[in-house]
Amino acid sequence: MSSFYSILYAVTNPVIMEQLSVGLIFSGSGNVFYKFSTEKVRPLKTLLPGSAYQLLRDSLRNIQLLAEDTNKSKHKQELNLNYMELVPS
């Protein structure tokens, strides 16, 4: 299985495409790893309009939930396969 990673950015000035990296998402070995920096996100509250900051927070939270759900469903799938191997035919 191939690996994939992406740096997550928040655009602070769309006119000049100024952006700040706030997190990282990585997929490999069938798992999804995700982490964002609260130290980088917190100052954006003063740089972004309130609705844009809330959208950023919601988006980061949704990515986290999706990564967790993906990992849980993969784990359930592995448990089912392991159980099926134990059941005599």
What domain range is 70 assigned to?
4-86
Question: For 29-47, what is the mean pLDDT?
Answer: 90
Residue 88: pLDDT band (50, 70, 90) is low
Q: What is the pLDDT of residues 7-36, one digit of tens each?
A: 999 998 889 999 999 999 998 877 889 999
Q: CA 50 to CA 5: how far, in whole Å?
A: 29
pLDDT at 86 over 90: no
The total of structural domains in the chain comes to 1
**Which burial class, exposed, middle or buried, applies to 11 when counting CB atoms under 10 A from its CB (0-12, 13-18, 19+)?**
middle
